[in-house]
Amino acid sequence: MTESKKDQCPSGEILASRRKFLSNVGLGAGTLAAGTTLATPAVIAQTAPIKWRLQTYSGAPLGAHVIKPQIEAFNKAANGEMEIELYYADQLVPTADLFRALQNGTLDAVQSDEATMASPVDISVFGGYFPFATRYSLDVPALFHYYGLKEIWEEAYSEVDNVTWLSTGAWDPLHVFTVDKPIRSLADMQGLRVFGVPTAGKFLAKYGLVPVTIPWDNVEVAMQTGELDGVAWCGFTEAYEVGWADVCKYALGNSVTGAWFGSYFANTESWKKVPPHLQELFKITIDQSHYYRDVWYWGGEAKLRVEGKKMEVTQLPPEEWAQVVTDAEGFWDEVASSSPRAGKVVDAFKKYASNMQKAGYPYR
């Protein structure tokens, strides 16, 4: 190494490197001085931002946690290239019409479970709360990433025109909250009118619960007026957050499932118009939303069951609860026989449950 090379400062080395590069491509200092210029960067055309309308299944108090942080983060990171307008339950279309509105382009995207939005696929029964399919929130991504549910969902929606499934994540467990009628036995469920999600409602109807569908924003008033006896829709975190715990005196501690299956969908034509980098950004913020929601629900569930003062927690007798678990096995088999694809989902549930049981602590 020459003395001059050793004495060269860092900035000098950088300049020398640049001179060498220009010399190698025939653009030495003399050439540049004679007027030859490098190509100017391409100018990105300034166009109006892409506008989307997204409606969630949830009302505004719950939406503040299950989706609003994600949409705000996406809009900020999109830096003016795209903007998503967020709408809550029933604001643009009734929740039961979400799928149709998504398919015809009234909505560009939807956050919901398949059962609630009446998705016309043979796996819609698994959206929301499928009895005993999960015990913990991490069960949902594990089933999708390691037990084949991702591929099954992609296959199912590939057969539906103009709707693209994007992602499924976990929400909260399912409990029954009642206004003034405690549930201490299965017999106590008889005739109780509850606002609830379709699949779990169908299963619990076996014990006399009567599922009722009304607009989400009307639920609290319906419980106050006696139109509803309670809700079978969510866990403790949500019941406290949206105000239902202020109306209900009792909470059934037994949970028929540990985590709701909630998904994101896009209108296919709308999705194709989004450039790849913004598609990737949207999927990244969906994952961010899944993480935020899991932590929010998980922390609240334990704390509010133990420290919450608004509701008395009741339990079914052990022998009756064992009967419910056994009844769920028959429900699984019934659903599995409804279609080959549904059978694959139930097989995945059974395989996962078996592995978790064998794995033992700390997984089960």
Digit-coded pLDDT (tens) for 187-199: 999 999 999 888 9
Is residue 130 very low, low, confident or very high in pLDDT (cuts 50, 70, 90)?
A: very high
Structure tokens, 52: 């989307």
Please determine, for residue 29, whether its predicted confidence score (pLDDT) is greater than 60.
no
| Edge-to-edge strand ranges of the sheet holding 50-56 | 82-87, 50-56, 109-112, 261-267, 163-170
Please provide residue 250's backbone torsions phi and psi, each rounded to the nearest 5 degrees. -130, 150
CA atoms within 13 A on the CB side of 65: 18
DSSP 320: H
Complete domains list, the chain, with CATH: 50-170+259-306 (3.40.190.170), 175-257+309-356 (3.40.190.170)
CB neighbours of residue 271 within 10 Å: 18
Q: What is the per-residue pLDDT across 269-310, written as a single tens digit (0 to 9) for each?
A: 999 999 999 999 999 999 999 999 999 999 999 999 999 999
CB neighbours of residue 43 within 10 Å: 6
The mean pLDDT of 220-234, rounded to a whole number, is 97
Share the mean pLDDT of the chain: 89
| Secondary structure class of 250 (helix, strand, coil) | strand
Nearest residue to 110 (alpha-carbon basis) of 94, 121, 126, 129: 94
The mean pLDDT of 327-353, rounded to a whole number, is 96
The per-residue pLDDT for 360 is 87
Please determine, for residue 336, whether its predicted confidence score (pLDDT) is greater than 70.
yes
The per-residue pLDDT for 362 is 72
The mean pLDDT of 351-355, rounded to a whole number, is 95
CB neighbours of residue 95 within 10 Å: 21
Degrees, nearest 5: CA angle 120-126-238: 110
Please determine, for residue 14, whether its predicted confidence score (pLDDT) is greater than 60.
no
Q: How far apart are CA 316 and CA 328, in angstroms?
A: 16
Query: Who wins on pLDDT, 331 or 363?
Result: 331
Which residues lie across from 250 on neighbouring strands? 178, 312
Q: Distances in Å between the alpha carbon of 168 and those of 137, 230, 273, 328?
A: 12, 27, 22, 23
Query: Who wins on pLDDT, 135 or 7?
Result: 135
Whole-structure pTM value: 0.84
Q: Distances in Å between the alpha carbon of 55 and those of 86, 114, 188, 239, 314?
A: 6, 14, 36, 21, 35
